């Protein structure tokens, strides 16, 4: 499933986290002791560490909580908020007033304006339009269920999980994804939509 949603990972050779379970890509997210945070701690050598590559650009009034990884050529714009467990890969953009929590931005992904990205993976070259929110908690606080191809539904094992946004996908302004949403690569979602489950299924 990992390579199906994020085919560009095959070409990424640096600064990308490693997945323990490619059939459940969301397994890298989750609790405070999850594998994503552990990988950042290993990279920084510090359990509160923040790694910022020398070629990354950090705007004014940005707040960064460790552990956090910001890769080469990444851009974090004015007033962004990177919360614990954020992994921003090469040439990715975290935009003005965007909040990222415990999420992966794969190379060249963009959340450039007023976005919320919680417990999510944003694919290579994917773009979130202004105001897009990747919601990560159900209203009833229950475990997040994931819908797979063919319609089968599986438990994620997580109480907090946002969206898997496939490579090259384009989400229009003010799109909201419900927890556990999967968006296949190169999807186009019009503005103001609410997306649940497997998009396009």
* Residues 174, 192 contacting (CB under 8 angstroms): yes
Going edge to edge, which strands form the sheet with 170-171?
A: 57-58, 75-76, 93-96, 110-113, 127-128, 170-171, 188-189
HEC per residue, 84-131: CCEEECCCCEEEECCEEECCEECCCCEEEECCEEECCEECCCCEECCC
Q: Judge whether 113 counts as a catalytic residue.
A: yes
Residue bearing tokens 């510090």: 46
Catalytic hit among 53, 78, 96, 113: 113
Active site residues: 113
């Amino acid at each position: 499933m990992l390579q199906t949603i994020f085919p560009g990972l095959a070409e990424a050779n640096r600064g990308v986290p490693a997945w323990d379970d490619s059939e459940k890509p969301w397994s890298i997210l989750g609790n405070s002791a999850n594998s994503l945070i552990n990988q950042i701690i290993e990279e920084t050598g510090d359990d509160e560490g923040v790694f910022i590559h020398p070629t990354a650009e950090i705007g004014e009034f940005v707040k960064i909580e460790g552990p956090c990884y910001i890769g080469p050529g990444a851009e974090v714009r004015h007033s962004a908020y990177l919360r614990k467990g954020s992994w921003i890969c090469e040439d990715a953009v975290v935009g003005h007033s965007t909040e990222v929590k415990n999420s992966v931005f794969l190379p060249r992904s963009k959340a450039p304006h007023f976005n919320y990205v919680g417990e999510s993976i944003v694919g290579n070259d994917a773009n979130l339009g202004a105001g897009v929110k990747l919601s990560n908690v159900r209203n009833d606080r229950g475990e997040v269920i994931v819908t797979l191809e063919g319609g089968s539904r599986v438990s994620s094992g997580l109480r907090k999980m946002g969206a898997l946004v496939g490579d090259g996908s384009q989400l229009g302004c003010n799109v909201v994804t419900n927890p556990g949403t999967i968006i296949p690569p190169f999807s186009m979602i019009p503005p103001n939509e609410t997306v649940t489950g497997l998009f396009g299924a």
